[in-house]
Amino acid sequence: MTWWTRALKSLISFGDGQRFDLFRIFPAFRRFLAARHHYAQLRTAADTLFVLVLISGFFGPQDAHRNIAVFLTWGILWPAIVLSWFFVGRMWCGICPFPGLGVFLQRRGWSFSLKVPKVLQKYGVYCSVSLLALIIWFETVADLNQWPAGTSYLVLSIVLGSALMAVLFPGQSWCRHLCPLGRISGAAATISITEFRADHDKCRGCQSFACKKGADGKRGCPVYLGAVSVQNNLHCLVCGHCLPLCDRDSPQFLFRNPYNELIYNAGRYITCMYTVPFLIGSQFARFIIGKSSYRGILERWGTPDSLLFSILLLVCIALVLVVIRIGNRLFGVTEKDPIVGRLSPMVPILIPMAFTGELVYRMAHFAEGIGDFIPTIGRQFGVALLERLSFTIPEFPVQVLSAFFMMNGAIAGGYILWRYCLGPFEGLLDLKNFVIIHLLLGGTLFSYLMVIF
**Segment 428-445, tens digit of pLDDT:** 889 999 999 999 999 999
What local confidence, expressed as pLDDT, does residue 16 receive? 64
| 327-366 pLDDT, tens digit each | 999 998 765 655 545 789 999 999 999 999 999 999 999 9
Segment (H or E) for 126: helix 118-141
Cβ neighbours of residue 81 closer than 8 Å, sequence gap 6 or more: 92, 181, 185
In this prediction, what percent of the chain has a pLDDT beyond 70? 97
Closest among 18, 285, 4, 360 to 133, alpha carbons compared: 285
273 — pLDDT class (breaks 50, 70, 90): very high
- State the average pLDDT over residues 383-398: 93
d(CA 288, CA 286): 5
Can you give the residue ranges of every domain in the chain? 18-257, 262-452
List, as one string, the DSSP characters of 422-447. Answer: HTTTTTTS-HHHHHHHHHHHHHHHHH
Going by their DSSP bridges, the two strands 251-255 and 20-21 should be labelled as antiparallel
Q: Which residues of 243-275 are buried (b: 16+ CB within 10 A; e: fewer)?
A: bbbbebebbbbbbbbbbbbbbebbbbbbbbbbb
Portion of the chain with pLDDT greater than 90, in percent = 73
Residues 6+ apart with CB under 8 A from 200: 228, 250
| Residue 115 pLDDT class (50, 70, 90 cuts) | very high
pLDDT, position 38: 83
Q: Does pLDDT of 278 surpass 80?
A: yes
**Does pTM top 0.75 for this prediction?**
yes
Model confidence at 116: pLDDT above 90 = yes
Q: Report which of residues 9 and 139 the model is more confident about.
A: 139
